[in-house]
Structure 1
Amino acid sequence: MSVRLQGTGLTVRVGAGRAILDDASISIEAGQVHALVGPNGAGKSTLFSVLSGDITPATGTVDLDGTPITGISPRLLAQQRAVLLQENAVSFPFTAEQVVRMGRAPWARAPEADEDDAAVLEAMTATEVAALGARSITSLSGGERSRVALARVIAQRTGILLLDEPTAALDLKHHEDVMRLITEQAGAGIAVAIVLHDLNAALAHADRVTLLSSGRVVASGPPAEVLTAERIEAVYGQAVDVFPHPITGVPLVVARR
């Protein structure tokens, strides 16, 4: 596997105060789903924003295919990585299709613009929002908006997907559908970094997990090796049991009550 994004020694501070991300390092590889997990305030979204190029760290570097991300123009960066943020508020009454089509903006006046219609249709079909294409985005439910936002970044057709809690507003079916779709994207060779709160989703779908606590990387590696009962209790302050699913054998995390 080739490393697409490499973050090394990343530190982010609040003004001159404490570090909200402290000497964190991470590698995002092609063909893998890499989950960023940890309790609230652990630094997941901050690390995500540094990897995407939206936040410049006080120390450390992020390289995209070996090139410092700070030296890549915004247009070229948008052609190489797509970013889905937690908040996807759209105030104007664009249709769902128009929102998805925004994902094609980096390719305007490029040869890839010929793929716009096919990319939009493919992404909307994959996320099951094709039937919502003519609807105003402001009329959609939270879950529908989340799937439209995901369709936008998939339509962008980049080799790197950075997804911040894409399943947060979804019901059970669409949660699983989206995680399967994300796994399929990785299977096609795309490098995926995803912020998750659901540890069971990380265990079931991620190839690699980075666990953060208080801005520091606690562990990084295969999900079953990182998300042990002892480590989860130490980081989250909640006793859990971790045991294999009786049918699939995939580890399950259950809070001890």
Structure 2
Amino acid sequence: MYIFLQSILRMTAWPMTPPVPYSAFHILLTVFGAGFAVSFARFFGKKIRSMASPEPYFRHILFSCGVLLALMELYKQAFLYVIEFHGHFDWWYFPFQLCSIPMYICLAAPLLHSEKTLRRAATFLQDFGLLGGIMALAVPPGLMHPYWTMTLHGFLWHFTLLFLGLLSCMSGIAGHERRDYMDILPFFFLCCVIACVINIAAGPTADADMFYISPFHPSSQPVFHEIACAVGIFWGNLLYVVSMIVGGLLMHKISSRLL
């Protein structure tokens, strides 16, 4: 079975020179993909708003995207394990970053029966999911791989986050009041706690850096790395979490103007 999987993955291991951030490749692909995400979000958002009972259709879209993201993640993990790391698991790629959370939310969509729970899920996608998608595309070194499939995987993943965030906003399912943002903060903090547990459980040599708040080394994120080196890892991580909260609030305020 492993040999069969190995042969299948090698068929898609098309090597490439990792693209340079802000190169023509990066900019054109981002503009093209983001344009499609916006167009699809507008189309489906308008369709959902016209429905008498929009929640079931919205759940169906979320779950479909969740299945797509899950299949993409399984392929990524298999590719990394077999092709890039030759049978070794790298904790850096454990699927629990801010940009991973929408996958879990979407897969759980059929279970979100109450209108309040669905509204909170949509608000999280609108605020933090959209923030993660935008920031990853704006600061793209983590998306650039020496293989075509992995590079395109990274971009497609974050285009999907743009679509989900914008759809949640344009469909009218997500909340736009201040209280709606406050309602999703406990879930965000829970995700931060889980990320910390994973980082600590993996140990100082595993290089796990979920949510980029590892207690063992400075953040790998630009600016925050320098801050952590200057004032300490704890304060650098705390500032990074605060920055995510502020960024999510900014997305929340901007999204209220998109309807």
TM exceeds 0.5?
no
Provide TM-score, normalisation by structure 1: 0.27
Structure that is richer in helix per residue: 2
